[in-house]
Amino acid sequence: MTGPPPPPPPPPPPPPAAATSEVSSSEDAASALFASINALGEDGIRAGLKKATRGPVNEEIPEVVTAPVVKAAVTTAPVSSKPAVCALQGKKWAVEYQEGKDDLTIEVTDPKHTVYIYKCQKGLLQVKGKCNSISIDSCNKFNVVFEDAVASCEIVNSTDVQVQCTGIASSISIDGSTGVTYYLSKEAVDKAYFITSKIASVNIVRPKPEDPEDILEDPIPEQFLTVFKDGQWVTEAVSHDD
């Protein structure tokens, strides 16, 4: 037979008083510090401070020196300045790089000679006599008046040019050009034919049959319609007339 259980263990001892004493010592140190500050008075507190002087806030700040901005050099392509030419070279009359001249004149003395007009603008050239052919290449706002061309008159890669034939030129070829006006003489109307490709705003001007002093202007078609008819493809010009 067993006896009663043993009694419970005694409670733990109270915490040491060191923490309390440390807090008390910190409070005493703070009180002593404030007491010493108050003892100095208002003048004593400011005695060790440097007196500020009135003036601009940034008077003693050194001036900021900005580095000069270096602009990138702009390079431009040199302008091609070819010398103007108007001379007979063998059997070819060369009229090249003429600009702003309305009094250019050449006189062809041999019907085997050709006339080549290249990169001329804002001017007028008059060709006197009968030549073999006339070529107008890469011209802009340039006018040409000629008498007769045995073979052809060709206009290539040109813009806003006017060409007048006072005699006869049977074959007229216009390629890659815009704003071309071609004036036919009364004698050349029934003999001339035009071959065109890649054109825009090309017009043929001819005298009125009943009144040669008046003119008729006809545009060359720029659009075409191709249809299959009677077993073959047929292409016709598209007319926008009402």
- Reduced to 3 states (helix: H, G, I; strand: E, B; else coil), residue 166 is coil
| Contact of 139 with 115, CB cutoff 8 Å | no
User: Has this prediction a pTM greater than 0.95?
Assistant: no
Residues 6 or more apart whose CB falls under 8 angstroms from that of 227 comprise 233, 234, 236
pLDDT digits 0-9 by tens, 159-213: 999 999 999 999 999 999 999 999 999 999 999 999 999 999 999 999 998 888 8
Which parts of 143-206 fold into alpha helices (H)?
A: none
Helix (H) or strand (E) holding 46, with range, is: helix 18-46
Alpha carbon distance 189, 11 (integer Å): 138
The percentage of residues in the chain with a pLDDT greater than 90, rounded to a whole number, is 61
| Contact of 171 with 178, CB cutoff 8 Å | no
- Nearest Cα neighbor of 161 from 199, 131, 113, 188 is 199
Per the structure block, which two tokens stand in for 205?
Answer: 């001007």
pLDDT along the chain (242 residues), means of 10: 60 56 56 62 56 53 58 48 93 97 96 97 97 98 97 97 96 97 94 95 94 91 93 89 58
Per the structure block, which two tokens stand in for 165?
Answer: 């034939």
Averaged pLDDT of the chain: 82
* CA distances for 153 relative to 134, 147, 218, 225, angstroms: 5, 11, 19, 28
